[in-house]
Amino acid sequence: MTGALALRLAALALLLAFLFDPAAFAPVFAPLAQHGAPAIYSQASLLDLTVSHLRIVALATAASAVLAITLGILVTRRAGAEFLPLSRAIVNIGQTFPPVAVLAVAAPLVGFGEAPTFIALFVYGLLPIFENTLSGLQQVSPAVMEAARGAGMGPWRRLWEVELPLASPQIFEGVRLSTVIAIGTATIGSTVAAKGLGEVIIAGLLSDNTAFVAQGGLVVGVMAVLIYDAMGAAERLLLRRLGVLAD
């Protein structure tokens, strides 16, 4: 076992231990709680908040990936090339308007809770996946494509058996990046009553309790690192099975 892997496993074990029994870590956070304030957030289960946080991230990232990859494929086809500027304008909306602004617009339209948070994360996650999909597909060697045509492959077969496998490393990297961004950004969902770890951070800020802020921030940060690494490992395994990455 490498040192890096051992460190990640230790971080995962500590994270799970904290989520399942946060009270056991009260002495760790007690120095950050002032004026007799509680050291551990107890208004809601930290485990439940974490699950809700990850669920909205997973749903929004999956929706972003479906649309962004579809658009990336469309604009790299001859028939859809003219839609590239429009597609870029669509996926850039999330970067033009900050998530807080998207929440402010979405909440009056769809109500409070998870819906506006989903919309904000969905819009914000489009750009990394779209640009990586576009870049990956455009970098497929013309010689490889010509060889595929010479082998009698039609357009759809070339897409599924040649282009997407070769572009998949960049596509997966875009999805990983979008996921990590969403994990951090989802904390603002608590401002519109969505369940998540932002609830802990906001409670700490409102009550001037640094212990709560540290708990929410640490859980979000550790999760982002561990999930990014786990997705990378899953990506390498899948690419080996596709024959894109050598063993």
pTM of the predicted model as reported, rounded to 2 decimal places: 0.89
Which residue, 27, 13, 16, 22, is CA-closest to 41? 22
Structure confidence by residue, pLDDT tens digits, 90-134: 888 777 777 777 887 887 887 788 889 999 899 989 999 999 999
Q: Quick check: 210 pLDDT over 60?
A: yes
Structure confidence by residue, pLDDT tens digits, 163-203: 888 898 899 999 999 999 999 999 988 888 788 999 999 99
Amino acid making up residue 223? M
- Work out the angle at residue 205's Cα, subtended by the Cα atoms of residues 112 and 227, and round it to the nearest 5 degrees: 70
d(C-alpha 78, C-alpha 71), whole Å: 13
d(C-alpha 119, C-alpha 230), whole Å: 25
Element spanning 53, H or E = helix 46-75
pLDDT level of residue 244 (50, 70, 90 thresholds): low
Which residue, 226, 204, 231, 230, is CA-closest to 215? 204
- Work out the angle at residue 117's Cα, subtended by the Cα atoms of residues 114 and 118, and round it to the nearest 5 degrees: 85
Q: Please give the sequence-ordered ranges of beta strands (E in DSSP) within 68-214, or none if there are none.
A: none
How is residue 224 written in tokens?
């982002």
The CATH number assigned to the domain with range 51-242 reads: 1.10.3720.10
- Work out the angle at residue 167's Cα, subtended by the Cα atoms of residues 151 and 165, and round it to the nearest 5 degrees: 50
Structure confidence by residue, pLDDT tens digits, 135-164: 999 988 888 888 888 888 888 888 888 888
Query: What are the structural domain ranges in the chain?
Result: 51-242
Neighbours of 182 (CB within 10 A): 26
Q: What is the mean pLDDT of residues 29-42?
A: 87
**Residue 57 has what pLDDT?**
95
**Residue 223 has what pLDDT?**
94
User: Percentage of the chain surpassing pLDDT 90?
Assistant: 47
52 contacts 223 by C-beta, under 8 angstroms: no
Q: What are the CA-CA distances from residue 184 to residues 108, 125, 197 (Å)?
A: 23, 12, 10
d(C-alpha 77, C-alpha 158), whole Å: 12
Q: What is the mean pLDDT of residues 69-87?
A: 88
Q: Quick check: 21 pLDDT over 90?
A: yes
Amino acid making up residue 200? V
Which residue, 180, 190, 191, is CA-closest to 64? 180
Provide CB contacts within 8 A for 20, sequence distance 6+. 47
pLDDT level of residue 242 (50, 70, 90 thresholds): low
Q: What is the DSSP letter of 201?
A: H
**Residue 40 has what pLDDT?**
93
Q: Quick check: 227 pLDDT over 80?
A: yes
